A and B are shown apart, each in its own frame.
Chain A
Amino acid sequence: MDRVRSFLSALAVTALVLTGGLVSAAPAGAVSATDYDPSFIISDAAFYDVGTMNAGQIQSFIDTKGSRCNPSSGNTCLKSYRETTNTIPADSYCSAYQGAGSETAAQIIAKVSAACRINPQVLLVTLQKEQGLVTSTTGKPAATFQRAFGYGCPDNVGGWCDPSYAGFFVQMQRAARQFQVYKARPTSYQYVAGKWNTIQNHPNAACGSNQVFIQNQATAALYIYTPYVPNAAALAAGYGTGDSCSSYGNRNFFLYFSDWFGSTGIVLSQYIWDWYQVPSNRAMAGEVTTQATGTSGGVRQGFQGGTVYVSGSYGVHLVPAGLLALYYDSLNGPAGVLGFPSGSHSSPAGGLSQPYQNGTVFISGATGFAYVSGWILDIYKAAGGPAGSMGFPTSGQSIIAGGITQSFQSGTVWISGAGGVQTLRPVMQAAYTALAGPSGSLGFPTSAETTAAGVTTQQFQNGVLYSDGTTAHAVVGWMLDIFKGSGGPQGALGMPLESQRTEAGGIVQRFAKGTVYISGVGGVQVVPATIAAPYAASKGAAGPLGFPVGPATTTGTVVSQPFQWGVLYSDGTTSGYVSAGMMADVYRSRGGLTGELGLPLESTRVVGGGLVQAFSTATMYVSGVGGVQKVLRGSLVEMFYSSLGGPTGTLGWPAGSQTGAAGGVVQKFTNGTVYISGMTGFTYATSWMADVYRQRGGPEGALGFPTSSTRTEAGGLAQSFQNGAIYISGIGGAQTVPAVILKAYSGNGGPAGALGFPVSAAVVTATETTQNFQGGTISVTAAGLVTITPR
């Protein structure tokens, strides 16, 4: 109550208050006389509210309250009372009352309430507090009905009443009208709202008086009508009797009204009250639920149906509960970007909308929450708003690069000094956004989109967006000149497939029929799709090839194109580039693409300080130690060489060409020689052993093909051949052990055994073969008898 009181004090007479049926009523009996606030008996809102009950509801109320009324002889219960009323023309305070025969009390109350705009509940309570007519159990005589409101019945004349005001209807109409007179002339009577007033406790002035700051007009009216404030004894007595100085009229008004209709008053600002009197507004708002509070220079007040805002410039408007209120509150209400509501809400195109001081909110299930403001709002409205061509907004408005933009279902509006007002449809907008919008390479849009031959285009400050309806890509600057020069989307390059990018300091853009490269070293070159794929796989201009430096050419099924650091070849399936320099020279010297090597199967590789590249017919090896050599593609040598690690493996680099020998093949490498035959398989001899072997006839000599590769034994070298073995040691030098000796030698442990390395060549006679070893001599007779003679 303290809070209410202090707020009321602040608002003084400009505030109106709702109570009773307008709000969630306090339960009957919840208010006691000690709750009586002499400065505030009833709110203005409740007092002057005519919409609380109709005639049927009033009758029902009277019936309920008077259900036990059984009239004594000569008495009438209010529920049964009827009176023929006369017509009273309208004046400055009440509209006309149309008289009728045999009207019920409820009908009279309802009609007087409507004519004089006084809450029928106030009239019911006044009937009760003046004469106890509502709850009487025995009814009242006609004389009581004649003075039902005590109108014209001064307190000091012994119960006399002015006969000119006699009659139930006349009493009520005069009383209700008088309340409107007080309202119309708020300072002309003895008690004034918003001021301190001296109010007696009782008609007997000796009983004293109270100083009362009357807070509102309705309370002032009640004190003028019944000019006494209850003393403490009256308030302590509830509905009962206090002392000889007690008065009860205003106390009882408060108690009956509170008990019957609820006692809590909620302040409405004057403007909200006026707004609330419009039936459609009242229907929207429902009952008031919160006190009015100041906000951002205006007033806000909660109702069942939402929150009503008042601002000096934008009037009184309801923001309905639900999505609109949710969004508005999320934007900090009137203190936020939207300011105060400036109009009523509506439901355009199945969504929600409400205008505010700084923009209009639009909400739909498909697009969510957004507001539109300023110039874009003007454009949007001109286009029909949500029901028009633009649909609902899908984003908030933003300022980018000095322009203004906002997205809608049908597209995004851009406003700029350079381009005016333009709309980008979603496909164009997506591409534009990907290019950083107006801050990017395109700048602001300068035209609407146009479509021709299946291609949609839209002009920008610095370029053009091209779309096939699904995606869109920009072509800008120098590239745009080239593109247009080639015939545009219908020309040699076809549609752009991606936006321009920079690569290794050059400018690159991919089109349907090729990729354009612009570089200082290569100028403008088009890389066809056949070349573009392997070129991209080798990292394009940033890779080992650098930029294209000439146009692509086609030889048969192979397309080739020169780049800064080599030539790239592709038949669409197989591709590779030949690096500029030695490999390019080798390739060229061998006839290039149409020469002995054919199509590169891979790109030039740098391996162990040399170059390697596979071609259709052979793999070329270029090294300082081996020179320029080839290993035939698919050959047994290539297979064995590869298994031994190629140039960085056992054999090192090729040092000669493959040759045939004794039905097998031989090829020299820097670290040894490969020998391959059908009988002996794949072997090699390392360089010293290979020299000895070669000196002793090689495969075509007595030893035949190696049956093993060179190996290390007991600190020396050994290698087996078809017809013997060669041992090379520091003590014995290079010696051939013939097959007839070798079996016994091996059987005695070979070089690691007692015999050690051979120290001389075998001596062959007609009867035996003898060979000296470090540890003895082996003799083998023609009959095969073996003699070992230790040294």
Chain B
Amino acid sequence: MISTSEWDAATGVTVRGYANTVDDTATCTLELTGQGAVESVTGEALPNPTTMSCGELVIGPADATSGTWTAVLSYSSTTAWGVSPPVTVTVP
């Protein structure tokens, strides 16, 4: 699930979330859809005692242009895969 999503002019769109599983290694991918474009970024998931964190996935301001975007976070490991409910992110 996505736990935080935010925009600021300097950084762009930042999304954090987690997957309710535990793996040795996994990746998280943020996909922004909107404005006729799809922007994505992938990062390493970080292990927690009971979850895997997808922290600080960032799409910079050059790509996250003004408008309404739909953010989806996906998690992938050798044993698990999942997608978060979509979250709307507004870029002013």
Chain A contacts to B: CB under 8 angstroms = 149-157, 162, 174-175, 178, 185, 187-192, 195-200, 203, 205, 209, 224-227
B77 in contact (CB, < 8 A): no
Residues on B with beta carbons closer than 8 Å to the beta carbon of A227:
3, 18, 20, 48, 50-51
Bound-state Cα–Cα, A657 to B6, Å = 130
Residue of A nearest to B44 (CB): A188
Choose, from B32-40, B53-61, B63-71, the stretch at the interface.
B53-61
B22 in contact (CB, < 8 A): yes
Residues on B with beta carbons closer than 8 Å to the beta carbon of A188:
46, 53, 55-56
Q: How far is the CB of A92 from chain B (nearest CB, A)?
A: 14
B13 in contact (CB, < 8 A): no
Determine if B22 and A189 form an interchain contact, defined as CB atoms under 8 angstroms apart.
no
Residue of B nearest to A195 (CB): B4
Known interface pairs A152-B22, A155-B20, A227-B18; A190-B49 also in contact (CB < 8 Å): no
Question: Which of A157, A174, A187 is the one whose CB lies under 8 Å from B21?
Answer: A157
Chain B contacts to A: CB under 8 angstroms = 1-4, 6, 16-18, 20-22, 46, 48-51, 53-56, 85
Known interface pairs A190-B16, A227-B18; A152-B3 also in contact (CB < 8 Å): no
Bound-state Cα–Cα, A185 to B55, Å = 10
Bound-state Cα–Cα, A507 to B53, Å = 96
Determine if B50 and A190 form an interchain contact, defined as CB atoms under 8 angstroms apart.
no
8 contacts between A and B (CB under 8 A): A152-B22, A153-B50, A190-B4, A190-B55, A198-B2, A199-B3, A205-B1, A224-B48
Bound-state Cα–Cα, A188 to B17, Å = 10
Determine if B53 and A151 form an interchain contact, defined as CB atoms under 8 angstroms apart.
no
Main secondary structure of the interface of B (DSSP, over half): strand
Q: How far is the CB of A150 from chain B (nearest CB, A)?
A: 6
Determine if B49 and A151 form an interchain contact, defined as CB atoms under 8 angstroms apart.
yes
Residues on B with beta carbons closer than 8 Å to the beta carbon of A190:
3-4, 16-18, 51, 53-55
Residue of B nearest to A192 (CB): B4
Bound-state Cα–Cα, A153 to B51, Å = 9
Residues on A with beta carbons closer than 8 Å to the beta carbon of B3:
190-191, 197-199, 227
Residues on B with beta carbons closer than 8 Å to the beta carbon of A191:
3-4, 16
Determine if B49 and A225 form an interchain contact, defined as CB atoms under 8 angstroms apart.
yes
Bound-state Cα–Cα, A632 to B53, Å = 131
Residues on A with beta carbons closer than 8 Å to the beta carbon of B56:
187-188
Determine if B49 and A205 form an interchain contact, defined as CB atoms under 8 angstroms apart.
no
Determine if B85 and A195 form an interchain contact, defined as CB atoms under 8 angstroms apart.
no
Bound-state Cα–Cα, A187 to B22, Å = 20
Q: How far is the CB of B7 from chain A (nearest CB, A)?
A: 12
Determine if B4 and A225 form an interchain contact, defined as CB atoms under 8 angstroms apart.
no
Q: What are the 5 tightest A-B residue pairs by CB atom distance, in nearest-first order?
A: A190-B18, A151-B49, A189-B53, A188-B55, A190-B3
Residue of B nearest to A227 (CB): B51
Bound-state Cα–Cα, A615 to B47, Å = 124
Q: How far is the CB of B12 from chain A (nearest CB, A)?
A: 14
Bound-state Cα–Cα, A151 to B56, Å = 23
Bound-state Cα–Cα, A156 to B18, Å = 13
Known interface pairs A187-B56, A188-B53, A198-B4; A225-B21 also in contact (CB < 8 Å): no
Residues on B with beta carbons closer than 8 Å to the beta carbon of A203:
20
Question: Which of A192, A195, A199, A225 is the one whose CB lies under 8 Å from B48?
Answer: A225
Residues on A with beta carbons closer than 8 Å to the beta carbon of B17:
190
Residue of A nearest to B17 (CB): A190
Determine if B46 and A150 form an interchain contact, defined as CB atoms under 8 angstroms apart.
no
Residues on A with beta carbons closer than 8 Å to the beta carbon of B53:
188-190, 224
Determine if A149 and B49 form an interchain contact, defined as CB atoms under 8 angstroms apart.
yes
Known interface pairs A162-B22, A187-B56, A205-B85; A200-B50 also in contact (CB < 8 Å): no
Determine if A154 and B1 form an interchain contact, defined as CB atoms under 8 angstroms apart.
no
Residues on A with beta carbons closer than 8 Å to the beta carbon of B22:
152-154, 162
Bound-state Cα–Cα, A618 to B51, Å = 130
Residues on A with beta carbons closer than 8 Å to the beta carbon of B18:
189-190, 227
Residues on A with beta carbons closer than 8 Å to the beta carbon of B2:
198
- Tell me which of B1, B50, B51, B55 has the highest count of chain A C-beta atoms within 10 A of its own C-beta: B50
Q: How far is the CB of B31 from chain A (nearest CB, A)?
A: 17
Bound-state Cα–Cα, A209 to B21, Å = 19
Residues on B with beta carbons closer than 8 Å to the beta carbon of A196:
4
Known interface pairs A192-B16, A198-B1; A155-B54 also in contact (CB < 8 Å): no
- Tell me which of A198, A199, A225, A226 has the highest count of chain B C-beta atoms within 10 A of its own C-beta: A198
Residues on A with beta carbons closer than 8 Å to the beta carbon of B50:
150-155, 225-227
Determine if B55 and A187 form an interchain contact, defined as CB atoms under 8 angstroms apart.
yes
Known interface pairs A192-B4, A198-B4; A154-B54 also in contact (CB < 8 Å): no
Residues on A with beta carbons closer than 8 Å to the beta carbon of B48:
178, 189, 224-225, 227
Residue of A nearest to B85 (CB): A205
Bound-state Cα–Cα, A224 to B21, Å = 13
Residue of B nearest to A178 (CB): B49
Residue of B nearest to A151 (CB): B49
Q: How far is the CB of B50 from chain A (nearest CB, A)?
A: 5
Residues on B with beta carbons closer than 8 Å to the beta carbon of A154:
20-22, 50-51
Residues on B with beta carbons closer than 8 Å to the beta carbon of A198:
1-4
Residue of B nearest to A224 (CB): B48
Residues on A with beta carbons closer than 8 Å to the beta carbon of B6:
195
Determine if A175 and B55 form an interchain contact, defined as CB atoms under 8 angstroms apart.
no
Residue of A nearest to B22 (CB): A154
Residues on A with beta carbons closer than 8 Å to the beta carbon of B4:
190-192, 195-198
Bound-state Cα–Cα, A162 to B21, Å = 11
Bound-state Cα–Cα, A200 to B85, Å = 13
- Tell me which of A153, A190, A195, A224 has the highest count of chain B C-beta atoms within 10 A of its own C-beta: A190
Residue of B nearest to A196 (CB): B4
Q: How far is the CB of A123 from chain B (nearest CB, A)?
A: 14
Bound-state Cα–Cα, A195 to B50, Å = 22
Bound-state Cα–Cα, A152 to B52, Å = 10
User: Besides A188-B55, A190-B54, A198-B4, 14 other CB < 8 A contacts?
Assistant: A150-B50, A154-B51, A178-B48, A185-B55, A188-B46, A188-B53, A189-B16, A189-B18, A189-B55, A190-B17, A191-B16, A192-B4, A225-B48, A227-B50
